[in-house]
Every structure is written in C-alpha cells, then in structure tokens.
Amino acid sequence: MSKQPAPFAPANLAQFFLDFLSPTVWRQAHQANSRREHKKRWELQPLVTVLLVLSWGQGDSLPERFETARACYVALHPKRRQPGKTFRGYSLALRRLPMPVLRTLLAAVRRRLCGWLQGCWRTGGFVLLGCDGSRLECPRTAALERAMGCSAKKKKAKKNRKKKAKKEKAKKGLETKTKEGLKAKAEAAATPAGAVAATAKVDEEMSLPSVWLTAVVHLVSGVPYAWLVGKGNASEQRHLQRLAWVLPACALVVADAGYRGFLLMHELLLAKADFLIRLSSATTLYTMGYKSLKKFEAGQIAYYWPEEAQNKKQPPVKVRVIRVRGCQKQDVWLLTSVLEESRLSVKDAARYYKMRWGSEGFFRTYKRTLGQVKLRFDTPQLVFREVEVALLGAQLLLCQGARAIPTAEGETTPGYSPRKVLQAFRKEVTRLAAPRLRQGFAAALKKARAERRTRTSAKEKRVWPRRKPHTSPKRPKIRKMNADQKALLSNLELRE
C-alpha cells in the first residue's frame, strides 16, 4: 500500500460538489446530449443534483424529500435560474433525461476515482475489487409488473412417498376398512389436481416487481467502482462480463462461488483482469497428473475445462488452485488466474478473500443506511434513473468518507462510518434548506385544505394480494313474532 495521504474534508456542500462534480464532468455529460434542448426549466445539473440530495435525504414521501432537495439546490446556486417548484414537473423532466447522458456522467466520475483514492488504490500490486449482486423491490404498479416481471419463483411440489403410497392403496380399495386407509382416501378426495399450480399462482401474485443490481466495489475503501442494473431475473455473471471492460488496470476481482463461469473467466482474461473466486464441489478441474489434495496448499496449476467447452473445442483456462486451512476442518478452496506465487501468496489470497465482505457491507449501506430497500418511483423510466443516481450518491458519499478518514496502513477495512458521514450530509442539507422552507404556522394551517375531486373510476383498479374481496351487506331478515314471544313480551312490559 502506498503512503497514506492527508485527510481532505470540504468546508461546505458547495465545495464538495465543486470538487467531485466539477464543470469538466458536467461538460462531458452535456456533450453526450444529442437532443440539444435549450431554455428548459430543469437543466441537467439541477435535475441530477436534486435527485442526488433526494437520495441522501429523509422523509416519508417523495414530494417531501423533493421540497428539501430543491431548497438545498437553490441555496447552493442563488444567482442561477431557479428550477421548477412542483414534484410532478420534476418527474416529467427526469423521465425525459436521456440515459446515455447519465451514463456519460457516471463514467466521468468513475475515471476520477483513482486520483481521489490514490492512498489506498492498490494493495500488493492489485486493485482489489469485490463483485456481488442484490435484488431491489419496486412498487407494485401495472407498468412495473409488465416491464420487470415478478420476483417469485415457481415452487416445485415436494414428493412424499409415504402419502403417495397410501393414496394409491386407498384407490385400489386394499385398506378401505382401516382408519389410515379412510384418512388417505379422504385426503386424496379433498386435494384438487391443480393445488400446486394454484399455490404457485398465488405466490406469483403476492410477489413484487424488482430490479437486480450487480456492483463492483473497491474493497479497501468500500467505494463502488461500477455497476449494472437489470430486471429481477438478470444474471450477475453476465453483468460482470459486461463490467469486465471498464475495470481499471491491475484489477483483481474477488468473488464467491456463484461466479465460477467459463465464459466469465475468459472475458476477464481478455480484459486483462485477474480473478480470485471460491470453489465448490460443483466445479471440476483437470491436471496433467493426479496428485494428492494435500499438495494443493501452496497452489497447484490446474485447468478449468467444462464438458461444454470441450465439445465446442474451446481451450481451457489455466488457473492456480489454493487451499486455505480453516477452522473446524472447513477449508476454503480458491481459484485464481495469478499463476505466480510471488505475485499472490496463499496468505495474501486468504486475506483478500476475507476482505470480500466489503462488497456485502456496501449493499447493507446502500439498502439500509440510504434506505434503498424498496424503490419509490412507480414507472420503469424513473426507477432506472433513481437507482443510477442513488448509486452515484452512495459512491460520492463513501468516497468523501474515505478521503476524510483515510484507511490506515495495513488495515483492510475502511476507517469511516457510512452512517455518520450520511448524518453530516443531512445536517448540512437541512441547514441550507431550512431558511427557504420556513413559513408561518398560521399560514401553513390555512393551506392545509382537502382536495375536492370527482371520482371517475372505481376505488379498486386491480386485485391486490392478501386482501379479501369486498361483499356488500345483504338485506336484513324481518319475521313475525309467534304466540310465545308475544306472551313473554307482555309479561316483561307488565313488570316494568
């Protein structure tokens, strides 16, 4: 690890934006815009800045967060033309934002990460990057269900041999007189043929549309380097194949056993990136001559050559297998493309794989600390823009934490707290936005008028899960008293 740099903390939020989102970054994003629209109320800079501050903020609803984020932007740029005031207008403008422009902005920020994190960028000659994926839930709207699908998986019926044998015997009449036979016969009669299909259909209706996020995280600083967002059923291996071509020089991708793929390894090697992936019993390796497993501890050269690749006559991937001794006889087997032990020793490989939890920690920070467990916008266009800008916000937030509290030499975990960094940002946003949001209590109460709208559609547009269908109450039952009831009523009236 190189020499530890001096801590850097901006004096205010304006200096933070000027340092991370400089005029050069905005100029590159503007050059990618082919529409060339001018004199808009929502330009690119206020549009993205408000969404960034909105992802850091806190509030029960999007309009509430929007008011604070817009007031913060106006306070940061008092001499510029003020953007629109309504959340509906902001949503329409955000929907028109071209995704190539946003991706150009993200790429410009990504290229500057090496300079911002120069003190901890390389470790042992490698840029340590962890890769993992996670699913984000979306609101249950018809548009998102059509575009994203549902996150439920079809459940297979569990086979119970004993019950199946009893049902067959009950059908044949061999045990009709016994209690077990009668019970099995009753169960067979009561169970419909499409019970499994109905259960799978109910599970699918109760699920939510979702998006799949695959992120590559710089393990020493905990800052996300690159990411891809797709539908809820997207493949994280294919995501990493596409991300391989944006990885930095001397990259070492550290991943778990879910990323053992022949095409993925070929793609990483073509992109001149190394990998360190955990092995499992589902992986078959080949050697020129059989050797005992005990000799794999220091790293043994092997070939990863699945049968599918052999049938297509594709060359194997030459790898090194490393065995790391674990506690309670639970050894960790690692697969790496670094063939020289001088570049990657067993001790370093074990330490690097242990650092892989940094990528897991990023998802916890993104989903729990930043509150991105469930997305808030309700259309596919806005959902993807929300995820991309929220990830940019997390990237800048964590990068500022890594610069303010640099990682000490020899440490493998970040020295800053993402929660405390977020609290500092929120306090600064509140300080800037509070004067413009302040209004009299009496004036606010006078504006709290109920909306009077004429309903033009049904109250329930769609069938929602876990809700019983509404049935209107029927007419009451009115009956004539008989002689006994009349006599009892007269006696009770006389007592009174």
Q: Given a cut of 60, is residue 472 above it in pLDDT? A: yes
Q: Among 245-249, 384-388, 440-444, whose mean pLDDT is lowest?
A: 440-444
Distance between CA atoms of residues 33 and 43, nearest Å: 12
Domain residue ranges in the chain: 13-118+377-437, 127-138+212-362, 161-206
Mean per-residue pLDDT over the chain, rounded: 83
What phi, psi does 77 have (nearest 5°)? -130, 70
Q: Given a cut of 60, is residue 176 above it in pLDDT? A: no
- pLDDT, position 175: 47
- State which of 108-122, 176-190, 461-475 shows the largest mean pLDDT: 108-122
- pLDDT, position 411: 72
Distances (CA, A) of 206 to 13, 85, 153: 43, 37, 11
Q: Among 1-15, 83-97, 303-317, 385-399, whose mean pLDDT is lowest?
A: 1-15
Beta bridge partners, 226, equal 216
Distance between CA atoms of residues 259 and 306, nearest Å: 14
| Better-predicted residue by pLDDT, 35 or 232 | 232
- pLDDT, position 151: 58
Two tokens, residue 423: 């609290």
Q: Among 3-7, 131-135, 206-210, whose mean pLDDT is lowest?
A: 3-7
Cα torsion 287, 293, 298, 301 to 10°: value is 10
Q: Given a cut of 90, is residue 445 above it in pLDDT? A: no
Distance between CA atoms of residues 184 and 65, nearest Å: 59
- Antiparallel, parallel or unpaired: β 127-137 and 251-255: parallel
- pLDDT, position 8: 82
| Better-predicted residue by pLDDT, 443 or 19 | 19
Band of residue 40 on the pLDDT scale cut at 50, 70, 90:
confident
CA 21 from chain center: how many Å?
Answer: 24
Region 381-401: mean pLDDT is 95
- pLDDT, position 194: 46
Region 147-165: mean pLDDT is 57
Band of residue 157 on the pLDDT scale cut at 50, 70, 90:
very low
What phi, psi does 445 have (nearest 5°)? -70, -35
Q: Given a cut of 70, is residue 110 above it in pLDDT? A: yes
Q: Among 94-98, 366-370, 413-417, whose mean pLDDT is lowest?
A: 413-417
Region 177-185: mean pLDDT is 51
Distance between CA atoms of residues 350 and 344, nearest Å: 10
Distances (CA, A) of 283 to 279, 312, 352, 474: 7, 19, 21, 65
Region 408-415: mean pLDDT is 75
Region 250-276: mean pLDDT is 93
Two tokens, residue 302: 């092997």
- pLDDT, position 291: 66
- State which of 6-10, 35-39, 206-210, 403-407 shows the largest mean pLDDT: 403-407
DSSP state of 223: E
Beta strands in 240-340 (DSSP E): 251-255, 274-278, 285-286, 300-304, 317-324, 332-336
Beta bridge partners, 273, equal none
What phi, psi does 172 have (nearest 5°)? -75, -10
- pLDDT, position 435: 87
Region 332-342: mean pLDDT is 91
Region 386-402: mean pLDDT is 95
Q: Among 50-59, 145-154, 198-207, 420-429, whose mean pLDDT is lowest?
A: 198-207
pLDDT digit string, tens, across residues 214-225: 999 999 999 999
Band of residue 195 on the pLDDT scale cut at 50, 70, 90:
very low
**Which residue, among 155, 135, 154, 156, has the nearest Cα to 208 in the 3D structure?**
135
Region 254-278: mean pLDDT is 93
Q: Given a cut of 80, is residue 436 above it in pLDDT? A: yes
| Better-predicted residue by pLDDT, 228 or 140 | 228
pLDDT > 70 fraction of the chain, expressed in percent and rounded = 81
- pLDDT, position 199: 46
pLDDT digit string, tens, across residues 55-68: 998 888 899 999 99
pLDDT > 90 fraction of the chain, expressed in percent and rounded = 47
Region 478-487: mean pLDDT is 89
Distance between CA atoms of residues 243 and 132, nearest Å: 12
* Range 154-160, long-range pairs (CB < 8 A, 24+ positions): 154/200, 154/204, 155/196, 155/199, 155/200, 155/203, 157/196
Beta strands in 46-163 (DSSP E): 127-137
Q: Given a cut of 90, is residue 128 above it in pLDDT? A: yes
- pLDDT, position 168: 61
Helix axes of 44-56 and 62-76: crossing angle, nearest 10 degrees: 120
Q: Helix or strand or coil: residue 129?
A: strand
